[in-house]
Amino acid sequence: MKSSISQRLESLDVLRGFDLLLLVGLESVMHHLSEAINTPSFHSFMWCFSHVSWEGFSTWDLVMPLFMFMSGITIPFALSRYKQEANKVLVYKRILKRVVLLWIFGMMCQGNLLALNPERIYFYSNTLQTIAVGYLISALLFLHTSIKTQVILAIAMLLGFWGAMELITIQGYGGGNYTPDGNLAEWIDRTILGRFRDGASVVNGEVQFPDWYRYTWILSSLNFVVTVLTGVFAGYIIKAKGWMPKQKVAYLLIIGASMVAMGWIWGIWHPVIKKIWTSSMVLVSSGYCFLLMGLFYYLIDYKGWKQHTSWLKVYGMNSITAYMLAMCVNFSCIGHSLFHGLEQFMGDYYQTWIAVVNAVIIYGILGIMYQKKIFLKV
């Protein structure tokens, strides 16, 4: 499907491209490079490209919330014209189509759908599915409620998650327990998703859950919605008529800094844990997203620094395609076919080179699509 690239928020395309550059272009390269260099100092640097094991927050932990946040920013731009329409059937179909496609794509990326093995399919396990959930609720709230109501509901969901984690105790889980083995969100996922939870398997008729998998999805969906809604709120600010660009930047930065501060303070009692998407983590991550959006909006849309950032739009304007190529297609076979002779000379750095080739091929495909103005939308 072809789409015009005019009348777009360029800072959003570039920021989305930056996020995908980290995920699609650099993650594999940097981890292979770290294995090749294998020094304590470089391993320390790789904190930037690694998730924290449980409590806390790293720069890499921002990649997923930022992707979700940016999906929310688009809602005021894409759906405003439908708010006053009495018959919203067409926009409902559009929203439903996007949600269904994102869900299926998520199962293809991480739910093992492409294995065509019913015993290994995982139902809810991927970033695209969190966007689907957050987008569905946020879009409906945008169409049918005021911004005041949306803010109140966002706060209610944050407090609802916190209250459930603190006050509900069942079968030894919950009651303020935020450990990997004892939190309420873990019990809910094991109970509802069961065998269809990522990593789960059936051994002798019993569902087994691996110790290495600690992400939760069902209760965490409350806060997935809030993360996307915070993007909607940023979209309101950027789209606001009558505000000077400097005012918009100021609002984005002030709100962002305030959210980060509130999140870390709340984290003293309600830990910042990305894997279960705690409410304090939502404030911290969305606050950083506001700050990044403010910075990119200031530099690109206000100051006009577009000449040296347009290459990131190659990722940003085909974000779903970039993500799907990285998650579902392994181009390393091409690298091995063309450059296997280099392995004897490159040693431990050979796998880094193959990762670079893989990233270049994906960027090349996206670059051709960009040049031909082919943008695949969901």
pTM > 0.75: yes
pLDDT at 369: 96
Structure tokens at 240: 């606001």
Burial of 186 (0-12, 13-18, 19+ CB in 10 A): buried
Which token pair is 202? 């059936």
Are the C-beta atoms of residues 76 and 109 closer than 8 Å to each other? no
Looking at residues 88-113, what average pLDDT do you find? 94
Helices (H) and strands (E) in the chain, counts: 16, 4
Separation CA 14–CA 100 (nearest Å)? 26
pLDDT at 7: 52
Partners of residue 170 on adjacent β-strands: 173
Q: What angle do CA 33, 36, 39 make, to 5 degrees?
A: 95
The answer on pLDDT for 33 being more than 90 is: yes
pLDDT band at 40; cut points 50, 70, 90: very high
Contact 219, 174 (CB under 8 A): no
Contacts of 338 (CB under 8 A, 6+ apart): 357
Task: Report the mean per-residue pLDDT for the chain.
Answer: 94
pLDDT at 328: 93
Beta-carbon contacts of 86 under 8 Å, excluding residues fewer than 6 positions away, are none
Share of residues in the chain with pLDDT > 70 (%) = 98
| Annotated domain spans of the chain | 10-371
- For 140-152, the pLDDT digits (tens) are 999 999 999 999 9
The helix (run of H) or strand (run of E) holding residue 34 is helix 27-37
- pLDDT for residue 12 is more than 80: yes
Q: What is the helix (H) or strand (E) element at residue 203, kind and residue range?
A: strand 201-203
Sign of the alpha-carbon dihedral angle for 301, 305, 306, 308: negative
pLDDT band at 163 (very low <50, low <70, confident <90, very high): very high
